[in-house]
Structure 1
Amino acid sequence: MSNAIDGLVSGLNTTDLINSLMKVEAVPQGLLKAKVTTSQNLIAALQGLNSQISALGDLAAKAAKPAGLDLYSSSSSSPSVTTSVSAGAGAGQLDIVVGALARSQIGVSAAMTAWPGTPAVLTIVSGAVSTEISAASSSLDDIVTAVNASGAGVTATKVASGVDAGGVPQYRLQFSGNATGAASAFTVYQGTKAEVTAATAPNLLTAPGAAVIRAAQDASVTLWAGTPAAQIITSSTNTFSNLLPGVAISVSAVSTDPVTVKVARDDAQIGSIASGLVSSLNGVFALISTKSVVTNSTNAAGAAVLSPGIFTGDSTVREAKQKILTAASAPINGHSPSEYGISITKTGTMEFDAAKFAMALAKDPATVKAAVTEIATRVAAAAKAVSDKYDGQITAKITGQQSTVKDLGTRIEAWDRSLATRRATLQSTYTALETQLSAMKAQSSWLSSQVAGLSSSTSNG
């Protein structure tokens, strides 16, 4: 409609005129939209800071656990003996002599062309467990399939073994235990469980031509070998998990000389935790600092312009930083953390002196570990107060800003409706103006024609 009324009578560019008037009318709405953009940028920045502080809190909480700094490493004097450390380990040393390795059992039957009996039934006995297995037929392939599907803890394999006197191919059945250790030894019988109990079932591994190729065996180590206190310890696997608290020892070869296993406090890991905590703290402080910088620039006229950062002057962010910084740098039992290599700098960040920390830890490990635990505990509490997803300070600020954005959005929508109404009113007004001008022009033309007619009549008379 607006384009249709441009300059019909008045010669005015009505569309441009209305658009210009609407720009003026929309100034308040533009200010609201600018506020929305500013609030959304602040929300995004606060969410990023909140996530980083939350990660700092998680790291600090882990270090603050009672055993968080009870870290140990282990070593062995032989490559055939390896170690791994878990919770509960403590400093210590142990000499062992590896006497045997754990093995699984392997046995083979005598050569045969088919299963020697009908129906094709066998029973595998391992310890106190008997497993009766029925095959689909006397075919050795079916026997193998049935054994492997039985869950008896034994794997069967058909192995070629020449031909019999009549030239018929023969095979042996190899039975391999799935688990190592003496307790995993087994016997294979031709027959049912009842026949095994009645001692009427043939033992396939002791029959003529059959053999136990490898007996099941436990691994064994001797402690304090060569002394009256010598003691043999066995394991069904090649790993011993109970020789030293929190230390698993795995063996891969027998030995004649003692192998020394050592467990010592891992100062490097403890230092790494302390260093990581300081780095995470500085990461939070760096983010706040970066987003609080005021930048200098010039406008089109060459005048100086100062642009504040998104966190500049934000009291919530400032208080959050101070709370975390105080938690990390406050004295511990009257001693400054700087005594342990953890100090605050002039710029308001933290610094970690690895050499100083290592020296203090070596001199008084209990005090230094307690200090790190205390710092971590305070930092974890401060981070939670700031970033808790329910009632953290920054979380509350984010929620407030989101509510503001929602309210501004409602007001902007109201302005959309108001501006639409205003545009329609202006269009209607200018349409009416053109209509009136058109009517006046038509009336003027009629009057002019009447006057011209009167003049012509007078002249003729």
Structure 2
Amino acid sequence: MGISLDGLSSGLDTTSLINQLMTAEAAPQDQLKAQVTKTNTVVTALQGLNSRLATLADAAATVAKVGSLDLYTASSSSPALSASVATGAAAGELQVVVSALASAQVGVSAAMATWPSPSTITIVGHSGTPLEITPASNSLDDVASAINGSTAGVTATKVASGVDGSGTTLYRLQFSSKTTGADSAFTVYQGSAADVAAGTATNALAVPGAAVIKTAADASVTLWKGTAAEQVITSSTNTFSDLLPGITVTAATASADPVTITVSRDDTQISAVASGLVASLSSAFVLIAAQTAVSTSTDATGKTVTSAGVFAGDSTVRGIRQSALDAASAPINGHSPGEYGIVLSKTGTISFDQAKFSAAMASDPKTTIAAIQTIATRLSAAATAASDKYTGSLTSKITGDQSQVRNLGDQISAWDVRLASRKSTLQRNYSAMEVMLSNLKSQSAALSSQLSSLSTSTSTGTTG
């Protein structure tokens, strides 16, 4: 810490004087700092608006896509079938009888202590191509492990099966196909692929004590049952994706009674999409209004201070708002968007009128949907023109302001150097002044001393 030698000769508070001078000297830098703070506040507000406009652009672009509002819901008259909507659905109805569910093949071997020698196993699937598997040993654990690690599409599980007359513990191997459907059928042979081809291999599921517990089978449903048009549709799983366009049907249980699948337009979901689009636009308008509004406050003296929002007088923001407003409120083929539930108020805000939208959908759904998509297309263009990360007008303004902040920062740094140099100069000058005053005082004291001595000497001579 430095030692203060304030006013040792002059009696002045030189540190205070220097600080006051430096405060005056730093006024231009303080103005630059204030400008940085103000510009950063504007940038933050612009970034918030840009984010909301980007969200609006994405939402509007999604709604504007062909088929985006072709939304449907599917229902079933029975728990035996469930239906869900995918892409490309259309309104309609179909009666279906669930004839059978899909199943996987399950079989068990005869009870044994170890797999018969030789240990080679061959599994033949529905394609007829044999897959030869060679376990590490004849142990049932090794056999099961080899099958589970193969590409046969079959799992093997060792299951306890009592003891034989000699007290030896016996087991069975349960074989299950990994998938359902008729094509998942398989046969397990004791022997090599060559033995299978020669007809000398043993079918492990056909020997005494072995059995096929469940056969592989497809699920099947019957359309128009009992009529001349009756048609059976099969699937390797319990799911059918081709009964109706864009509808996935899943069978839960077999049923002799017809199940009705109904597909209808989902007005609730369409309304939610339209409402969400308006809400996204309104969110941007609310932010602009909040950042433009004039507010009043009271300063420390009790005086009322009026402050305008950061967007007040900003022509770029004003132009963006007007473009979005025009996109949402301009007529469509001579009809006001208000007829479709997108209502413009006297104060320039946008709201969604559920009742009007529902009435329009009930009266003319095709025209209503087309109108919403037209508005979405216009909003997408307006919002993108403002918020595009490369060419957006708002993006460009943000980039320009950020560049200004960087330039101001460089100027502030330059002022730091300039002020440090100025302060050092003032400290040297005041120190030199104190030294000079100290020397003058010393000289004055010495001169006074000499004069006093001279006066004394003269007085003594006169007396003598």
TM-score surpassing 0.5? yes
In the alignment, the residues of structure 2 paired with residue 299 and residue 146 of structure 1 have an alpha-carbon distance, to the nearest angstrom, of 85
Offset from partner CA, 1:275-314 (integer Å, 9 cap, x none): 1111111111111111111111222333321011111111
CA distance in 2, matches of 1:19, 1:76: 85
Between the aligned partners of 1:408 and 1:321, the Cα distance in structure 2 is 30
1:130-279 matches, within 5 Å, as 130-279=130-279
User: How many equivalent pairs are there?
Assistant: 460
Please state if 1:8 is matched with 2:8. Answer: yes
Counterpart in the other structure of 2:378: 378
Alpha-carbon contact 2:80-2:259 (below 8 Å) kept: no
Residues 1:245 and 1:434: Cα distance change in structure 2 (over 3 Å) = same
Q: Which AA in structure 1 matches 2:408? A: L
Tell me which amino acid in the other structure corresponds to 2:357: F
Kindly state the Cα deviation for residue 116 of structure 1 after the two structures are TM-superposed. 0.8
The equivalent of 1:100 in structure 2 is 100
* CA apart distance, 1:5: 3.1
1:115 maps to 115
Identity across aligned pairs (percent)? 58
**What does residue 324 of structure 2 align with?**
324
Partner of 2:58: 58
Counterpart residue number, 1:294: 294
* CA distance in structure 1 between the partners assigned to 2:145 and 2:303 by the alignment: 89
Q: How does 1:327-366 map to 2 (within 5 A)?
A: 327-366=327-366
Assess, with a 3 A threshold, how the Cα gap between structure 1 residues 3 and 347 changes in structure 2: closer, same or farther: farther
Q: CA deviation at 1:2?
A: 7.4
CA distance in 1, matches of 2:368, 2:273: 13
State which drifts further: 125-134 or 297-306.
Answer: 297-306
Paired AA for residue 338 in structure 2 = S
On the 8 A contact 2:80/2:98 being kept in 1, the answer is no
Deviations 1:190-241 (A, max 9, x none): 1111111111110001111111000000000000001011011100000000
TM-score (norm 2): 0.97
Partner of 1:408: 408
- Measured after TM superposition, the shift of residue 424 of structure 1 is 1.0
Distance apart, 1:155 and its partner CA? 0.8
Q: Secondary structure at the match of 2:301?
A: coil
TM-score, normalising length: structure 1: 0.98
Work out whether residues 56 and 380 of structure 2, in 8 Å CA contact, stay in contact via their aligned partners in 1: yes
Aligned to 1:69: 69
Deviation at residue 437 of structure 1 after TM alignment: 0.6
- 5+ residue gaps in structure 2? none
- Aligned-pair distance for 1:189? 0.3
Whether the 8 Å contact between 1:342 and 1:351 is mirrored in structure 2 is yes
> Corresponding residue for 2:124?
125
Q: Which amino acid aligns with 2:384?
A: K
Q: Distance in 2 between matches of 1:147 and 1:418?
A: 83
Is the CA contact (8 Å cut-off) linking 1:127 and 1:184 kept in structure 2?
Answer: yes
Q: What is the SS of the residue equivalent to 2:297?
A: strand
- For the 8 Å contact 1:332–1:371, the answer to whether it is kept is yes
SS of match in other structure, 1:249: strand
Q: Which moved more, 1:56-65 or 1:355-364?
A: 355-364
Matched to 1:379, the amino acid is L
Greater mean alpha carbon deviation, residues 127-136 or residues 11-20? 127-136
Give me the whole-angstrom Cα distance separating, in 2, the residues matched to 1:317 and 1:291: 10
User: How far apart are the structure 2 equivalents of 1:299 and 1:59?
Assistant: 44
Please list the CA deviations of residues 132-173 of structure 1 after superposition, one character each: whole Å capped at 9, or x if unmatched: 111111111111111111121111111111212222111111
Query: Which amino acid in 2 is paired with 1:417?
Result: V
Q: Contact conserved, 1:223 with 1:230, CA < 8 A, in 2? A: yes
Secondary structure in 2 matching 1:5: coil
Cα distance, 1:457 vs structure 2: 0.6
- How far the C-alpha of 1:3 sits from its partner, in A, is 4.6
Whether the aligned pair in 2 keeps the contact of 1:3 and 1:15 (CA below 8 Å) is no
Between 314-323 and 231-240, report the one with greater CA deviation: 314-323
In the alignment, which residue of structure 2 is the partner of 1:426? 426
For 1:215 and 1:304, the matched residues in 2 are separated by: 89
Separation in 1, partners of 2:299, 2:160:
92
SS in 2 for 1:460: helix
Letter in 2 for 1:386: A
Q: CA deviation at 1:450?
A: 0.6
SS at match of 1:241: strand
5+ residue gaps in structure 1? Answer: none
Q: Find the counterpart in structure 2 of residue 25 from structure 1.
A: 25
